[in-house]
Structure 1
C-alpha cells in the first residue's frame, strides 16, 4: 500500500464503522509520539468519553454526569493505529472486533 497523507483535522468527527458496518462512534482524539523529527500516530480515541478526554475535562465531566444521574459511564474506545482502516478517510473502519478494543473509560460514579 502506498503512503498516503491524511490531515488529522479532517479525521476528527468522522464516524467509525465496525467490521459489520455498524457505527461505533466518532474519532475525537488522536494520540501521537515523537520519533526523531516526526510524530507517529499511536492510537485513536473514539466515542463520547473521548470528547471529555480531548477537552481535558474528564474529572469535571464525570462530576456533571453524576449530578445528572449517571451511574456508569462508558462511551468510547481506544483504537491502535494499525486497527483502523483509513483507506477511505471519509469512512474509517475497524480492522478488528469491538471486543479487541480497550474502553477509553469505564468508570462507576459514586
Structure 2
C-alpha cells in the first residue's frame, strides 16, 4: 500500500477524532486498501454505466439526524471507515478542537471561484 493513502486515512481519522477499533483486527493499510478497491471498482463500473456515478442515495450514516444524498463512493468509504474506526475517547471536543477541525477543513477546500 502506498504510504500516501495510508497516511491520508491516518490524518483524516485523527483529525476527526477517530481511532482504530481494537477488536477490528485490521490496520490503516487494510482500510486504505478496501477503500481504494471500492472506489476503483465504482470507477470501472461507471465507464460502462455512467449513471452509477450520478446516483445518489438518501442515507443517515453515522446516525445523522437528517438523511442526505450520498453517492455510492461516499457510502462505500463511510461504511469501510465505520467498520474499522471508532470515536477516540481520548479526544476532548472543546472549542479549540472544533476550531482546529474547521481550520483544517477550510484549508482543504477548493477556493471559491
Q: TM-score by structure 2 length?
A: 0.24
Return the structure number with greater helix share.
2
Q: TM-score by structure 1 length?
A: 0.25
